[in-house]
Amino acid sequence: MWKTLLCVGAGSFVGGMARYGLTRWVSAGNFTHLPLGTMVVNVAGCLFIGLLYGWFERADVLSPEWRLFLTVGFCGGFTTFSTFVHENYILILSDKFWSFAAYAVLSFALGLLAVWFGHFLVRVF
């Protein structure tokens, strides 16, 4: 269990640093009308997690610890959006359209509501 936690934690650490660095680098441009850094990170994370899971399906490569380091750790630390999109992709591939629709819409709507509520709580209290 500790080995698994350390693999995920180390991957998250590296992924978080990579997210920060890439976001800062992209945001250093003159793009003020979009949070372009975050969008680039999210799309890059989706590409990377797709490449990883595709590679893992195609070949028996890397130990379970390395797989966790790269997917749950690095990709999770880089952007949880990549995991969210991959889970939606799996639901679509599994012909679970209604589950996909519910998961996608509810995740976005409830997330937006939670952010609003957090701001509201801080203003009120």
Annotated binding residues: 76, 79
Residue closest to 19 by CA, chosen among 40, 5, 50: 40
Alpha-carbon distance values, 37 to 46, 66, 77, 83 (Å): 14, 27, 15, 18
Question: CA-CA distance, 19 to 37, in Å (whole number)?
Answer: 9
- Which residues sit in the known binding site for Na(+)? 76, 79
